[in-house]
A and B are shown apart, each in its own frame.
Chain A
Amino acid sequence: MTATTASDQGGAFTELPSGYRLVVGLEVHVELHTATKLFCGCPNQFGDDPNTNVCPVCLGLPGSMPVLNAQAMELAMRLGRALHCEVRPSVFARKNYFYPDMPKDYQVSQYDQPTNVDGHLDLPDGTRIGIERAHIEEDTGKSTHVGGGGRIHDAAYSLVDYNRCGVPLVEIVSRPDFRTAEQAKAYVNELRAILVATGVSDAKMEEGSLRVDANVSVHQPDTPFGTRCEIKNINSVRSLGRAIEYEALRQVDLLEAGERVIQQTRHWNEDEGRTHMLRSKEEAEDYRYFPEPDLVPMVPDPARIEAIDAALPRLPAERRAALAEAAGRTLPDESVTIVVDRGLDELALDAVAAGADADRTLTHLQHDLDPDHAANVPAAHLAQLVELETSGALTASQAKQVVAEMGETGKAPEAIAAERGFEAMDTSELEGIVDEAIAANGEAWEKYCAGEQKAQGAIVGHVMKATRGQADGKLVSQLLEQRRSA
């Protein structure tokens, strides 16, 4: 099963059999990085002993009253602004259902008046994904099914831990704007970077502080969107891509067999690499939402929103655009994206501003400098290093080693180069060594001259050995080429 991306006048899309097109929307739940829960003072703490972070409010005991956490409100609005949403007056609502992980028998959420609406997120490739809403709600407890191999349907009973119950969440609902699984993966990565940069969430999928559900459908071009299925239990970005591709092909197979797609919730099974039905949605869910009488409306103060905007850190999209421009690219490319992901874009900008060649600078920051060592490398040192490389005083492989050591030691590039005995090799000296290498590898040379390009490996290896790795590999290749065509 492969889904490849292609381009047409409508932009990138996943190639599905028989001309079908993929349409995906994502619902992402993120736990807010607060000290306490949404409506009570219990710690918001992952990994504690079961039921040690509980109180009458989050256990839903009679007579207890919720009070909104000021920091949760702040972080939710901050996330809204980072996603370019309008932050509006909002009202909490009760979503009524019976399930043991929700001891009140309702979840406090937001329904028709969510805090954040109409935003967007730009993917690194420039695709804009609409954000329909980003609303506040409380998390539920955690059930463990005992007996029957831990599977729900065969379990003898369940055990419930309410530590997570009442932890503040924001649910971010995208518009159905994804046309490839890659875009969905890129969105989650980008969202995660935004959440971490803004301090809104630690966004760890492996700890469940970021959870993704995917609404997947397929349709033929120029026809309405197909019936969607919601895929749950996606535990990593990689699984997200696999689950979307599997589900899309399942739906195409159904339609091609003359059947129809039934709206339903499906569970992704990572081990089997497939989805299976959890429950049909034909019987519409009836949560009987109504305004939560124990909580008053949240009304954002315009001055507060302005302060949030002013305090927002520069977000990845903006940082990529700035670096791409400084590096002379019309759009961010892979090197720009990686350097920003590694948090080394400020260093790159400063080095380029100090006159360093942009391509070489990005190459080193993409591959050679450990981000944890960035504090050891002033932009001036990086610019000097790139200059040594540009002038030919250091070969590319020498420069690579020097950059790594600059990170480890904080020393200036010239000092490191001198210590390592990296000296610019005189071309005439190198020519002599190349001639010796040819003489010593007559057989390889003959093959090389006969057009067997890879035969040059033995000769280049000889030169490298003779120069203790200091020869510029590119230059050696050029010299060999000159001699062959002479």
Chain B
Amino acid sequence: MTAPISRDDVAHVARLARLTLTDDELDTFTSQLASILDHAADVEALDLDDVAPTSHPYPLENVVRPDEVRPCLDRDEVLAEAPSAEDGMFRVPPVLGEAP
């Protein structure tokens, strides 16, 4: 059986998650993620044709709240928690490129 996940895959996922991994860490996580995927493969081996994909474990649907305004947080309190603020706004490092 081929490896369920390659070192390149792990490097790619790490980059998407903005994680900097050392070579040793890449090896460690590649083997750890492979064993998780192996476990998923065990489940995949079962005959599940009659089982619908499950996005949620609980038999709940349409959990909603009424469209009523609730109190918001105090702005000064919120911004006091931010690393940097200016003019009532969060100040963040320069952004490269536009939002997706």
Report B's interface with A, CB cutoff 8 A.
12-13, 16, 18, 55-56, 58, 60-73, 75, 78-79, 86-100
Residues of B within 8 A of A152 (CB): 95-98
Q: How many residues of A contact B (CB 8 A)?
A: 63
Closest to A297 in B: B61
Knowing A51-B75, A299-B62, the reply to whether A97 touches B69 (Cβ < 8 A) is no
Name 15 extra pairs, CB < 8 A, besides A67-B64, A296-B63. A41-B65, A41-B70, A42-B70, A51-B78, A51-B88, A56-B73, A67-B65, A68-B62, A70-B66, A99-B95, A143-B95, A158-B91, A158-B95, A278-B98, A297-B55
Q: Which of A96, A291, A301 contacts B55 (CB 8 A)?
A: A291
Closest to A97 in B: B100
Distance in Å from the Cβ of A53 to the closest Cβ of chain B? Answer: 6
Residues of B within 8 A of A69 (CB): 64-65, 67
A378 to B3, CA, bound (A): 79
Report A's interface with B, CB cutoff 8 A.
34-36, 40-43, 49-56, 59, 67-73, 89, 91, 96-102, 140, 143-145, 152-153, 155-162, 232, 265, 267, 278-279, 285-288, 291, 293, 295-299, 301
Say yes or no: A35 contacts B89, CB within 8 Å.
no
A357 to B96, CA, bound (A): 63
Say yes or no: B90 contacts A51, CB within 8 Å.
yes
Q: Which of A53, A99, A162 contacts B90 (CB 8 A)?
A: A162
Q: Which of B58, B73, B96 contacts A55 (CB 8 A)?
A: B73
Say yes or no: B68 contacts A35, CB within 8 Å.
yes
Q: What is the count of residue pairs linking A and B with beta-carbon distances less than 8 angstroms?
A: 147
A98 to B68, CA, bound (A): 30
Residues of B within 8 A of A99 (CB): 95, 99-100
Residues of A within 8 A of B63 (CB): 67-68, 295-296
Distance in Å from the Cβ of B56 to the closest Cβ of chain A? Answer: 6
A140 to B100, CA, bound (A): 11
Residues of A within 8 A of B58 (CB): 296
Distance in Å from the Cβ of A136 to the closest Cβ of chain B? Answer: 12
Residues of A within 8 A of B68 (CB): 35-36, 41
Residues of B within 8 A of A50 (CB): 75, 87-89
Q: Please name 13 pairs of A and B residues whose Cβ atoms are closer than 8 Å in the assembled complex, sorted by A.
A: A40-B70, A50-B87, A55-B70, A69-B65, A69-B67, A143-B99, A153-B96, A161-B88, A267-B98, A285-B100, A296-B63, A297-B62, A298-B62
Residues of B within 8 A of A155 (CB): 94-95
Residues of B within 8 A of A49 (CB): 75, 88
A293 to B72, CA, bound (A): 25
Residues of B within 8 A of A153 (CB): 96
Say yes or no: B72 contacts A53, CB within 8 Å.
yes
Say yes or no: B99 contacts A101, CB within 8 Å.
yes
Knowing A69-B65, A143-B95, A296-B56, the reply to whether A159 touches B89 (Cβ < 8 A) is yes
Knowing A51-B90, A70-B67, A285-B100, the reply to whether A296 touches B62 (Cβ < 8 A) is yes
Say yes or no: A54 contacts B67, CB within 8 Å.
no
A167 to B39, CA, bound (A): 39
A72 to B62, CA, bound (A): 12
Residues of B within 8 A of A97 (CB): 100
Say yes or no: B67 contacts A158, CB within 8 Å.
no
Knowing A159-B90, A297-B55, the reply to whether A54 touches B70 (Cβ < 8 A) is no
8 interchain residue pairs of minimum CB distance: A41-B70, A71-B67, A291-B55, A159-B89, A70-B64, A160-B90, A299-B61, A296-B60
A157 to B63, CA, bound (A): 40
Residues of A within 8 A of B16 (CB): 96, 286, 288
